[in-house]
């Protein structure tokens, strides 16, 4: 019984940890994608400035917003990098900040 219980607990735990790790990995992926797409957004804005479709003032505003988000993502990543326990909380934080992004 105990052995069966341990096996079940084990698989639950291990499966659970694996599940959490998967979540973290995909969240990091999304972050990376998000960072990539933010950078591309910045590049697109620079292109529009060169083409005269956007003035320097508009660009400065947009650049500030994009750079702030990039900084948020960096900070979040730094938090995740400091151990297994905070990995989970890091993922949680990222989830929250994603939600915040989408609602903006």
Partner 1 sequence: MLAVSTDPAHSLGDAFDVPLSAEPVPIKTRRGDLLAAELAAGPALGRWRGEHRRSLKEIAARGTYLDEEDVERFLDLSLPGADELLAWLELERLASETHCEELVVDAAPTAHTLRLLAMPEALSGLARVLDRMQARHRLLAERFGGAWRPDESDELIADLETQGRRIAERLRDPERSAVSWVMLPEALSLAETKDALKALDEADIPVREVIVNRVQARDGEVIEEIQRAFSDRTLRFLPEEAREPRGMAALRRVGRGLREPHPRPGINARAKQKQPGEPDWSPLQGALSTSPGIYARAGAWLEDIAPDNLRLLFLGGKGGVGKTTCAAAIALALAEHHPKARILLLSTDPAHSIADVLEIPLGDDERPVLGAPQNLRARELDATRAFDAWRERHAGKVGEAMGAFTSEGVGDLLDLTPPGLDELIALSTLLDTVIDPTVGGERPYDLVVVDTAPTGHALRLLEMPDLALSWDHYLLSLLLKYREAVGLGDLAAELVQLSRSLKRLDALLRDPDRTRFVAVTRAAELPRRETVRLLESLEKLSIAVPAVIVNAVAPDGEKPPRERFGRCDIIEAPAAFPPPRGVRRLAEWVRTWEKATE
Tell me the site size for partner 1, rule CB under 8 A: 8
Please state, in angstroms and rounded to a whole number, the distance separating the CA atoms of residues 65 and 95. Answer: 19
DSSP string, 16-61: HHHHHHHHHHHHHHHHHHHHHHHHHHHHHHHHHHHTTSS-HHHHHH
Of 51, 56, 57, 68, which lies in the binding site for partner 1, with binding defined by CB under 8 A? 51
44 binds partner 1 (CB under 8 A): yes
Segment near partner 1 (CB under 8 A), from 10-18, 21-29, 41-49, 81-89? Answer: 41-49
Give contact residues for partner 1 (rule: CB under 8 A).
40, 43-44, 46-48, 50-51
């Amino acid at each position: 019984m105990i052995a069966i219980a341990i096996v079940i607990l084990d698989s639950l735990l291990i499966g659970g940890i694996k599940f959490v790790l998967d979540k973290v990995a995909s969240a990091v992926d999304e972050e990376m994608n998000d960072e990539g797409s933010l950078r591309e957004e910045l590049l697109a804005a620079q292109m529009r400035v060169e083409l005269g479709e956007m003035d320097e003032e508009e660009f400065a505003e947009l650049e500030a917003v994009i750079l702030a988000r990039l900084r948020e993502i960096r900070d979040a990543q730094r938090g995740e990098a400091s151990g297994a326990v905070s990995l989970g909380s890091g993922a949680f934080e990222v989830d929250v900040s994603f939600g915040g992004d989408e609602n903006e």
